[in-house]
Amino acid sequence: MTDTAPGLPRLGTTLFSLTLEQRRAGGDLAGLVREVAARDLGPGLEMVAFQSLRGWPRLSPEQEREVRGVLDSSGLTPSCLAINNDLGLYPGRLLSDDESYEYVAVQLRGAAALGFPVARVGVETGPAILERLLPLAEQLGVKVGVEIHAPLTIEAAPVAALKELFTRLDTPWLGFVPDMSASMRAVPDAVDDAHRVAGIAPELTALTKQLWAEPGPTMAKFPELERRAAEAGATPPQVGNLKMLFTMHGRMAPERWADFFPHVVHVHGKFYGIVEGPDGLTDPSIDWPAVARVLREQGYDGVVSSEYEAHAYSDRYSAFDQIRAQHDMLKRLLEAEPAVAAR
Amino acid sequence: MFDRYIVCEEGFRALDDGRTGGVVEVRMPYYRGLALSMVEAVDLVVDGRPVPPARTSFTVHGNTYRFDQLPRTTDDRWEMGERAQLAFETDEPLAPGEHEVAVAVRLRISYMPVPSGGRDSKRLTLAA
């Protein structure tokens, strides 16, 4: 395990990092979890329920025993189960509040049965449903965390509403799951591979990266991106791919994560590639020294789940090796930060 | 994101039930499984000719559906990486050899502002 010193944030892995490995035929959950453990990529283990658990949320008792057995025998510690609230389950309408509550409640019970201490939901699970879920979360001993993923930032209206809710309820059972996609310093280079495959000219990718890096709210840059990309000959699907770079990669200052505390129940260590720099391992697209500083200053001692997502753009790199590199980098950064001031 | 995994290179075959047409195996262009009710369309174009949805059927783990049944199917799921069999009828038998197979998948993912999905096109070989 990549154990950090006591009192520091703990490291871990989400199986989402291994999406391509899970897509491959013949792979099974037990083998994948064993490999994460064998490569010392714990102690925390997270997974996406609708990705890694066939039949979720209606697991048979045998399946449930099997998954628990895999987790218990791995030596890893279940950290978080990512669940979903499929508001668009039925064509032509969204789930009602009652349906939405039930859809999540069943999964919360499932998370508890598998021994996960935190369940991640998306921002589509809003304050009213969260408040209804609170008694169940408390009874089950499962915290519910709302993931703050790009394009959300601290300024977004839904985030402000959540912050108000968590402050008012003052409960450890509801909170945020910061995802580093919201606070990036550059568009990752791995997108170049995906754009090459999609036939997008390198100049278009460069233009998008340049617009992305300019100051100002990302949402306000869409018209200029559309206009300039179209002028440069991009087809509508290609413009869609370029716009995706704006929505998947947020530009919030990493220091702003401090504003989400003390209501942070889990952290997604989203990343797209660690490289060897002049001063050791570094991440060109995420400012991890700044993130580590916030986590130490806030006294966070929960799990940072390594969430490698460049597999969406490229299959050129080993996700296992990338997580190893991120763990080595994070351990060094977290342990180098000065001792936490008492809060 | 996972567009290039949609059309499977293996498993392309002629129908073996007396009808003319074929079967192409397809995968979900998403990072997780979705209930079939959230699969809005799996559009198929073979050698440049669109195949009407009414002449196709969709099979996951042995369960076969017509496309007009999918919107009501909330209790079965197309899992990530799972090969679904997209069977299609044609007027003429498919000739052995190479065929251009294009598939566009539309998914209704609730937190995305626009319909999601993906498209992929591959040259597949039908054995003689």
Single out the residue of B43, B42, B40, B44 nearest to residue B71, CA to CA: B40
Residue in chain B closest to A18 (alpha carbons) equals: B31
Single out the residue of A122, A149, A271, A151 nearest to residue A217, CA to CA: A151
Q: Are A184 and A150 in contact (CB under 8 A)?
A: yes
Total domain count for chain B? 1
**Residues of A designated catalytic:** 149
The strand pairing partners of A307, in sequence order, are A270
Instruction: Fill in the amino acid letter for A286.
Output: I
Look up the CATH number of the domain holding residue B66: 2.60.40
Partner-chain contact A48 B31, CB within 8 Å: yes
Question: Which residues are CB-neighbours of A21 under 8 A, at least 6 positions away?
Answer: A27, A32, A319
Rg (CA), chain A: 20
Name the burial class of residue A6, with classes exposed (0-12), middle (13-18) and buried (19+) by CB atoms within 10 angstroms of its CB: exposed
Q: Whole-angstrom Cα distance, residue B21 to residue B13? A: 9
Partner-chain contact B81 A85, CB within 8 Å: no
> Could you tell me the pLDDT band of residue A342, with boundaries at 50, 70 and 90?
very low
> What does the pLDDT read at residue A219?
83
**Angle between helix A61-74 and helix A29-38 axes, rounded to 10 deg:** 10
Question: Which residues are CB-neighbours of A272 under 8 A, at least 6 positions away?
Answer: A188, A189, A190, A283, A285, A286, A308, A309, A310, A313
Q: Whole-angstrom Cα distance, residue B84 to residue A256? A: 44
What digits encode the pLDDT tens for the residues A155-196? 999 999 999 999 999 999 999 999 999 999 999 999 998 899
- Minimum-distance CB partner of A50 among B1, B5, B32: B32
What percentage of chain A has pLDDT greater than the value 90?
87
Single out the residue of A92, A93, A91, A95 nearest to residue A105, CA to CA: A95
Question: Which residues are CB-neighbours of A56 under 8 A, at least 6 positions away?
Answer: A49, A50, A107, A110, B33
Domain of B110 in residue numbering reads as 3-126
The strand pairing partners of A271, in sequence order, are A308
ipTM over 0.85: yes
CB pairs under 8 A between A and B: 64
Residue in chain A closest to B118 (alpha carbons) equals: A237
- For chain B, 128 residues long, the average pLDDT of each consecutive 10-residue run is 89 95 96 95 97 97 97 95 96 96 92 72 91
According to DSSP, residue A9 is labeled P
What digits encode the pLDDT tens for the residues A43-84? 999 999 999 999 999 999 999 999 999 999 999 999 999 999
Helix (H, G, I), strand (E, B) or coil at B58: strand
> What does the pLDDT read at residue B112?
57
Asked whether residue A109 carries a pLDDT value surpassing 60, the answer given is: yes
Label each residue of A189-234 as H, E or C.
CCHHHHHHHCCCCHHHHHHHHHHHHCCCCHHHHHHHHHHHHHHCCC
Tell me how close the Cα of A315 comes to any Cα of chain B, in angstroms: 11
